[in-house]
């Protein structure tokens, strides 16, 4: 698991300690579940894979719960884990065959609850353009415009500098504008 913070004992935790940790973890899940699922969906592009990645995110977060020292950074810590797990899920899905189900078998309300980019009132052209982006590009758009992280936090999560993050985001937005035919250019 990694180094245990010095404020935790090397001994096995008591039942009361584990119970308190579990209660606190349940509060963390309740507070951040939507953001984790939205980020996973934006990267995976599929509700089932997003749910799988989100579940693995919570498992990894539980395992590493004693490594987080700053409660103010829990949200970005979880986003980093979700980003990693969603990327792994995309890699796994590329290696296994996928059988598509007819649209009539999918609960239409499911996508409204889990979609980062396609709530019922969203522009379908924008949703399609976002879906065609590389998963890493969807991730930075989601982290910035859906979850509200700044370029410094996104850079830490993705292993880039803040300026590199801003530059990539600018390229992605320009690509989306071109694809959507936004007339804000020199024309």
Query: Tens digits of per-residue pLDDT, 22-80?
Result: 999 999 999 999 999 999 998 988 889 999 999 999 999 999 988 888 888 999 999 99
In a domain, 105, yes or no: yes
d(CA 31, CA 16): 23
Residue (of 155, 173, 175) closest to 164 by Cα position: 155
Query: Can you give the pLDDT at residue 95?
Result: 58
Cα 143 from Cα 82, distance rounded (Å)? 11
Which range marks the domain in which residue 46 is found? 15-180
Does 59 map to a domain?
Answer: yes
Helices (H), the chain: 15-44, 47-63, 74-95, 108-114, 124-131, 135-141, 151-158, 162-180
- Using CB atoms within 10 Å of the CB of residue 66, give its burial: 0 to 12 exposed, 13 to 18 middle, 19+ buried: middle
Q: What percent of the chain has pLDDT over 70?
A: 74
Q: Based on the structure, what is the number of domains in the chain?
A: 1
């Amino acid at each position: 698991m990694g180094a245990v913070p010095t404020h935790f004992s090397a001994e096995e935790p008591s039942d009361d300690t584990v119970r308190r940790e579990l209660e606190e973890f349940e509060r963390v899940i309740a507070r951040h579940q939507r953001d984790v699922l939205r980020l996973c969906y934006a990267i995976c592009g599929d509700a089932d894979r997003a749910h799988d990645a989100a579940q693995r995110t919570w498992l990894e977060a539980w395992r590493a719960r004693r490594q987080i020292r700053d409660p103010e950074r829990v949200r970005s810590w979880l986003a980093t884990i979700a980003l990693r797990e969603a990327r792994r899920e995309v890699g796994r899905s590329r290696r296994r065959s996928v059988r598509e189900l007819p649209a009539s078998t999918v609960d239409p309300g499911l996508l409204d609850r889990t979609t980062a980019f396609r709530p019922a009132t969203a522009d379908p052209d924008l949703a399609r353009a976002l879906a065609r982006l590389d998963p890493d590009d969807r991730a930075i758009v989601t982290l910035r415009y859906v979850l509200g992280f700044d370029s410094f936090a996104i850079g830490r999560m993705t292993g880039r500098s803040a300026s590199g993050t801003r530059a990539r985001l600018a390229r992605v937005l320009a690509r989306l504008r071109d694809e959507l035919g936004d007339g804000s250019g020199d024309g």
